[in-house]
Amino acid sequence: MFDRNDLLRNGKLRNVRLAKQGNDSVRTNDVNATDYSPSSHDPNHRYDSESVGNTHFQPLAGNKKMTSRSAIFPEVSFSHINLPATVLDWKRENSTAEMATMTFVIHGHVEISTPDNKILKRHPGVYLIPPETGDVVYKTTAPANELIGVSLSSRLFATILPDYKTFLMMGQNTKLDVVSLQPLLAFVVSACNLNNPHSQMVDTLENVANDVARSLLIACFGQGMSVMPLIERVRKYVSQNYTDQTLSVTKTAEHENVSVRTVQLALQEADTNFTALVRRARTDAALELRKSQPSLTLVEIGDRCGFGSVSSLRRALKLYEQMENREVDPE
């Protein structure tokens, strides 16, 4: 619930400790896995007693304590928070507004609200704040409350739950099997408590963190939805738009709300590339037209199937025949 731009500097992982007691000022102690410049973030910096970063809260009376520990990766952030009864007003600005955040109420009671009422909920005590959601208010009412936060970039979120809005039409009151989530949440807490991991370890931690966030998101809000893998969504988009001669990997990535590199990696994992995918879709369509309408000329078939010229159509058909011959070749 803190601004990633303030916490994530040049390193891939940053562990952040925030602590507050009564009306004392907040102190931070950052431990980074890579080089860190103290001048860029003074660990002795004193914050206003009613705000940390872009989160504002009611003053804590007496000896009540609030602590927050976070592990921040490029596309995933974890938080482990313990706090008394209070109200946190999270101003979701800049990079935080684009993120999706899951909140798990481990102990205590919390009420979460937004002006646009976009919050999704699973019982018991699991909340999802989708990307592009406005400011969020957390109201904890128990004497002691423990929360775990898992935030994902909008890009990563879109690759996991492209159809998350359909959850609003599902029964949100179905009870969640929280026991199955305990190992994943235990990893989140452990990551928040790491002290200066070796740089060789950070890449592995980042991959595991992404997998844990993905698993939690699907387990809590992906069941019952049509969660189609990115490669299948790309194939579907190409099959629906192969006649467009301006079809490109950039246009496809924009449609899927992901980066071009993400689309390329999905294609690479499927042992193909965008050019081959488009060519195959157009070739299949051309073969079907030749079969169903034999009177059509190659020019007409090429125009209808998105080929820029008759020569490109002929090359595609020749390549198809060569591939077919290889498949039937006994060697």
Radius of gyration of the chain (CA): 25
Main-chain phi, psi angles of 85, to 5 degrees: -65, 120
Contact 281, 242 (CB under 8 A): yes
132-154 pLDDT, tens digit each: 788 889 999 999 999 999 999 88
81-124 pLDDT, tens digit each: 998 898 888 887 766 667 889 999 999 999 998 887 778 888 88
pLDDT at 46: 31
Grouping H, G, I as helix, E, B as strand and the rest as coil, residue 59 is coil
Considering the four listed CATH numbers 3.40.50.300, 3.40.50.620, 3.40.718.10, 2.60.120.10, the one that applies to the domain covering 4-221 is 2.60.120.10
pLDDT at 53: 56
- Judged on CB neighbours under 10 Å (0-12, 13-18, 19+), 47 is middle
Query: Where do the domains of the chain lie?
Result: 4-221, 230-328
pLDDT at 64: 75
pLDDT at 28: 32
Main-chain phi, psi angles of 32, to 5 degrees: -110, 145
Please give the Cα distance from 206 to 272 (Å, whole number): 26
- Which numeric CATH code is attached to 230-328? 1.10.10.60
Question: CA nearest 246: which of 257, 238, 234?
Answer: 238
Please give the Cα distance from 5 to 9 (Å, whole number): 7
10-residue averages of pLDDT along the chain (331 residues): 39 48 38 28 36 64 77 89 88 74 93 82 87 86 93 84 55 70 93 73 82 89 65 89 92 80 85 92 92 90 90 88 64 48
> Is the dihedral angle over the CA atoms 290, 293, 299, 300 positive or is it negative?
negative
pLDDT at 149: 94
The CA distances from residue 176 to 50, 55, 74, 130, in Å, are: 35, 29, 29, 19
Please give the Cα distance from 41 to 30 (Å, whole number): 8
Grouping H, G, I as helix, E, B as strand and the rest as coil, residue 57 is strand
Contact 266, 230 (CB under 8 A): yes
The CA distances from residue 225 to 9, 162, 166, 187, in Å, are: 36, 9, 7, 26
